[in-house]
Structures are given as structure tokens and as C-alpha cells.
């Protein structure tokens, strides 16, 4: 399994055990990718799925709380006002809720790990212009070196802007250009 589909929660069989194994396979791929210090595409996927699950959970709670409630007879006997729901979730919604409760901490743990790697890489990168700088900064060349090595690798880059749900994001496309001995 490479990536989770956008509708993984409701696609196919809705069974806690099945979805649990599906998630375990996905998180195994994520962990493997993070161990290689590869954040793409899994970090953005994790953010997307985590936000969807949180939103689904909040909206379900809001919907459940908006249904009318009735006073319970037990509370009236004790002079207490206790309300009980008139409409209960069916077994399918309870199964989805249990899958969400299992999945949220898993996504959060993986997100924390990916964020840590992202911040570590960001803190170790130094970007500075060399020579002439173009007025159009959305494409150019990257010279990448990793001290103490003396080799520098050259990449051609192009920045693209795309919108995903409510966010505007940037993508950085790189293409290996040449090694120093070929220049």
C-alpha cells in the first residue's frame, strides 16, 4: 500500500479490524519513508487525513448534540434533570466512530514524527543566492553540497503554486542536472 485514498474511511468494507490493518499497512509505509528522511508525499497526506478525521468527529458530535433530547425518568425520581438522546447512532456509525477513535492518535503520532524531521531538515538547510539573481525567482538552479564532502550537485528547480482545499501551497520540482565533473 502506498497511499490512503481520500475516502478510505467509508470505501469498501466498514469494519474496525479491516480498517485497522489497512491503517497499519499505511503507517508502515509512512514510517519507512520517514526513516529514509523522505517527507513527500506522506507528510501532506497525513495532514489531509488528520484534518478530515478531526472535522468528521467534530461535525458528528455537533450533529448528535443538535438532535432533541428527552428527560429521563430516573432523573425525575431523584429530582435531577437528566437528558437522554432520543436518536442513537446505528451500528455503522458506531463502527466508523471507533475507527476514528483508533486512527486519530495514530495520525497524530506520525504527524509529530514528520514535523520533527521537517524542522530538523529545515534547520540544517542554508539557502543563499550566489552570483546574479533573476527577477523571476520561481525557477533556477540549486547547488547542493553536504559538508564534509567536496562534491556539489546541481539541480534545476521550478516552483509551482497550487490550491488544496482552503490553502495555497507551493510545490518545488527539482531535476538533477549535472555533477561537478560534467560541468
The residue behind cell 497526506 is: 45
Neighbouring CB atoms inside 10 A of 51's CB total: 13
The answer to whether residues 107 and 55 belong to one domain is yes
Share of the chain above pLDDT 90, in %: 33
Last residue of a domain, one of 85, 101, 125: 125
89-110 burial, b at 16+ Cβ within 10 Å, e below that, comes to eeeeeeebbebbeebbebbeeb
Give the pLDDT confidence of 64-110 residue by residue, as tens digits: 766 666 656 665 566 666 666 555 667 888 888 999 999 999 999 99
Give the pLDDT confidence of 130-145 residue by residue, as tens digits: 777 778 878 888 888 8
The answer to whether residues 73 and 148 belong to one domain is no
Q: Give the range of the structural domain holding residue 171, as residue numbers without chain letter.
A: 126-183
pLDDT above 90: residue 111? yes
pLDDT at 110: 96
The answer to whether residues 58 and 20 belong to one domain is yes
The answer to whether residues 110 and 169 belong to one domain is no
Share of the chain above pLDDT 70, in %: 78
The answer to whether residues 34 and 106 belong to one domain is yes
pTM here? 0.70
pLDDT at 108: 96
Give the chain's count of helices (H) and strands (E): 4, 5
Strands 167-178, 139-145: parallel, antiparallel or unpaired by DSSP?
Answer: unpaired
The answer to whether residues 33 and 93 belong to one domain is yes
The answer to whether residues 111 and 131 belong to one domain is no
The answer to whether residues 154 and 120 belong to one domain is no
Question: Based on the structure, what is the number of domains in the chain?
Answer: 2
The answer to whether residues 69 and 42 belong to one domain is yes
CA distance 116 to 127: 20
pLDDT at 148: 84
Query: Packing angle between helix 16-35 and helix 42-66, nearest 10 degrees?
Result: 150
Question: What strands, in cross-sheet order, belong to the sheet with 152-164?
Answer: 139-145, 152-164, 167-178
Amino acid at each position: 500500500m502506498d497511499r490512503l485514498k481520500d475516502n478510505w474511511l467509508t470505501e469498501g468494507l466498514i469494519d474496525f479490524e479491516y480498517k485497522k490493518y489497512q491503517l497499519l499497512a499505511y503507517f508502515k509505509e509512512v514510517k519507512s519513508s520517514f526513516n529514509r528522511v523522505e517527507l513527500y508525499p506522506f507528510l501532506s497526506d497525513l495532514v489531509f487525513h488528520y484534518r478530515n478525521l478531526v472535522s468528521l468527529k467534530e461535525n458528528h458530535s455537533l450533529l448528535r448534540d443538535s438532535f432533541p433530547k428527552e428527560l429521563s425518568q430516573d432523573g425525575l425520581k431523584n429530582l435531577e434533570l437528566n437528558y437522554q438522546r432520543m436518536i442513537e447512532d446505528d451500528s455503522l456509525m458506531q463502527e466508523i466512530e471507533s475507527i476514528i477513535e483508533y486512527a486519530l492518535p495514530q495520525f497524530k503520532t506520525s504527524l509529530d514524527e514528520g514535523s520533527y524531521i521537517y524542522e530538523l531538515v529545515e534547520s540544517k538547510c542554508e539557502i543563499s543566492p550566489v552570483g546574479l539573481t533573476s527577477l523571476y525567482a520561481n525557477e533556477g538552479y540549486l547547488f547542493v553540497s553536504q559538508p564534509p564532502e567536496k562534491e556539489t550537485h546541481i539541480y534545476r528547480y521550478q516552483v509551482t503554486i497550487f490550491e488544496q482545499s482552503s490553502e495555497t501551497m507551493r510545490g518545488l520540482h527539482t531535476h538533477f542536472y549535472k555533477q561537478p565533473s560534467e560541468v
